[in-house]
Amino acid sequence: MTTSQFHLPDVGEGLTEAEIVSWKVAAGDTIEINQVIVEIETAKSLVELPSPFAGTVEGILVAEGATVDVGTPIISVAATDGQEAPPPPEPVDHHKLPAPGADLTAVRTLASTAEQVSAAEAEPEETSGAVLVGYGIKGQVSSRRTGRMGARASIPAIGEAPDAKVPTQRLARIHQPIPGVPVIAKPPIRKLAKDLGVDLNEVTPTGLIGDITRDDVIRHADQAKVFHNIETPQWAPVREERIPVKGMRKQIAKAMVASAFTAPHVSLFVDVDASRTMEYVKRLKTSADFAGVKVSPLLIMAKAVIWAVQRNPMVNSAFTEKEIVVRNYVNLGIAAATPRGLIVPNIKDAQDMSMRTLAESLEQLTLTAREGRTSPADMADGTITITNIGVFGMDTGTPILNPGEVGIIALGTIKQKPWVVDGEVRARFVTTVGASFDHRVVDGDVASRFVADLASILEEPALLLD
């Protein structure tokens, strides 16, 4: 019997240490190759580590909560007789990982009437990987209200063809709401949603007949907690609490200090009449081409940034002591508030994406970030960032640059305000666009033209069609 030790690998670019968050196995357990054995927290994200060995766990060498250096033995495994332990895994090549949104391209809403997959045609149950909140694994499901309300949309499993048959034993019945059709929810569920401040029109139902369940409401409310305080907790029993500065919080502090005291920031602001953007978003939401995809003003801003970068490439560059690197591609960063802190994952090569693909990528990026499953590769090599402070009800702010970038845009809340149109005061949807730049690279005229280009798209999204 051969005993092997698993050493903490470098799962990120330049990772030096990580915290052991939770063990998924215990001494005496039998494990297989690629079975998840531990969850660690790096300076950027939570990462699940698979075992490179098969056998019996002899001992856990590092306790939960401990921070250890890369290369430290963390678990020992006794291989079963006749098995040789494979070598430790090679470091991950993050440049070969798929970009955010790659798995969502197969998600489509079917226009035909949903049909129930019969039990006779069902295959044996299969295990599946992790799925995104709001998607799940989907087969075709019929609704009792089909005749009265019209067929509910049916979504194939991610990565499956629309006509693929899915075993009924593992159906996660996900129904996308149809614009103009009332949601299905029992009175207690509606009361729960009201108490939690949840809009049922924004909840993805998973009930057998396309109804919203209690779990659907709670799941949506838990996600909303990231952005809104939906409850007031009791005062803590202790007078003071001390939180160790480590992991992601340590990395955030280091990056913000380096950015603030290295790059000379300059900020600009402009008020924008975004009424036509709101009309455009409304039309996209009711379009069959965007069925099953979340559409918001952030999508229009993302497209506007890509368009404005093409017209003002210096805002998408990087500064070094020897040269300025102008990047003719856009890895669009989206600042995301998560329970673990602020992270900035980015959408790789966003300039090549259609509006729908970009919308899918934004949705996957947001859901993955809220679950704390954003990989280090998804946060590497960003070129320019958007921070959507409007979700917090804020009008504007002075964002700090993401290290390695020279531009960041802040999108404020969009709400009705008095606005002068043709000499008359009218109620219009108004927002404030703010932006910060590295003044070593971006001069005032370039920064002003870039912000003006963003404003012009929000005022008239039809410019994107040019």
Distance between CA atoms of residues 357 and 379, nearest Å = 19
Asked if 176 and 291 touch (Cβ cutoff 8 Å), the reply is yes
DSSP 367: H
- Of 7, 94, 265, 439, which residue is the catalytic one? 439
Q: What is the DSSP string of 200-242?
A: GGGS---STTSBPPHHHHHHHHHHHTTTS--S-PPPPSSS---
SS3 145: coil
Q: What is the DSSP string of 231-250?
A: S-PPPPSSS-------HHHH
**Which value, to the nearest 10 degrees, does the dihedral of the CA atoms of residues 173, 176, 181, 182 take?**
60
439 is a catalytic site residue: yes
Distance between CA atoms of residues 143 and 351, nearest Å = 40
Distance between CA atoms of residues 371 and 363, nearest Å = 12
**Which candidate, 177, 176, 174, 225, places its Cα nearest to that of 197?**
225
Please name the helix (run of DSSP H) or strand (run of DSSP E) that holds residue 48, with its range, or none.
Answer: strand 46-50
Structure tokens of 94?
């993050």
Active site residues: 439
